[in-house]
Amino acid sequence: MDSLRQFPVIIGVTGHRDIAEHAVKPVYDAVVMLLTEWRRCFGVALHVMTALADGADQLVADAARCTKVPIIAVAPFPDDAYRKTLLHPNKFDEHWKCPALRLTLPDVPAIGCMDYHDRQYEQLGVLLIRRSHLLLALWDGIADPDGRAGTASVVDMRLHGDHHAATFQSPMFLNARSYLDVTNRGPLLHIFTPREGQDPGAARPAGSTRTRPAGSCSLLGLPDSKTLIPEAIAERERQPFDPNGVTVTPRGVLREVKQAGVADFDYIKELNGIIRSFRGWPLRVFNQQVSLLKADGVPPEAQGDFDFLRRLQAAADSAAQIYQGPLLGHFSPVHPLWLFPARPYRIWRNTRQIPRPGALFVFAAAVPLAVLLFEIYVEHKTTWLGLWALVAYLITYGGTTAFYKFKVAKEKWQSHFQDYRALAEAMRVQVYWAVSAVPAAVSDYYLRKQSGGLGWIQFALRGQSLWAAAVAARLKKPDRTAVEEGWIAGERKFFGDNAILHDRVDRRGRRWTDRLVGLGFLMSLVLLGIILLTHWAPPAGPARDLLDWLLEYRDELVVLAAALPAFGAFFSVSRDLRAYEAHAHSYALMHRMFDAAAEQLAKAGDDDAIYQDIVRELGREALAENAEWLVEHRHRKIEQRS
**Does 84 reside within a domain?**
yes
Burial 349-384 (b: 16+ CB within 10 A, else e): eebebebbbbbbbbbbbbbbbbbbbbbbbebbeeee
Please give the pLDDT value at position 177. 85
The angle, 0 to 180 degrees and rounded to 10, between the axes of the packed helices 554-578 and 580-604 is 30
CA quadruple 464, 467, 471, 472: dihedral positive or negative?
Answer: positive
**Does 253 reside within a domain?**
yes
Virtual CA dihedral for 68, 268, 106, 19, nearest 10 degrees? -50
**Does 272 reside within a domain?**
no
Please give the pLDDT value at position 554. 76
Distances from the Cα of 517 to the Cα of 165, 372, 503, 510, 571, angstroms = 62, 14, 21, 11, 11
Q: How many domains does the chain have?
A: 1
Between CA 500 and CA 591 the distance in angstroms is: 11
Between CA 176 and CA 193 the distance in angstroms is: 32
Decide: 408 and 325 in contact? Cβ < 8 Å.
Answer: no
Between CA 34 and CA 595 the distance in angstroms is: 50
For residue 53, give its domain range. 9-262
**Does 211 reside within a domain?**
yes
**Does 159 reside within a domain?**
yes
Please give the pLDDT value at position 598. 93
Please give the pLDDT value at position 261. 79
**Does 634 reside within a domain?**
no
Here the CATH number for the domain that contains residue 117 is: 3.40.50.450
Please give the pLDDT value at position 482. 92
Closest CA to 213 of 164, 141, 291: 141
Q: How many residues does the chain have?
A: 642
What is the pTM assigned to this prediction?
0.87
**Does 177 reside within a domain?**
yes
Decide: 133 and 463 in contact? Cβ < 8 Å.
Answer: yes
Please give the pLDDT value at position 226. 43
**Does 162 reside within a domain?**
yes
pLDDT along the chain (642 residues), means of 10: 82 95 95 97 96 96 96 94 92 92 92 82 94 95 75 90 86 85 83 81 50 88 55 40 72 90 91 93 90 88 93 95 85 60 72 79 82 82 86 89 89 90 94 94 83 80 94 91 91 89 84 87 84 76 73 76 80 77 86 93 90 93 86 73 56
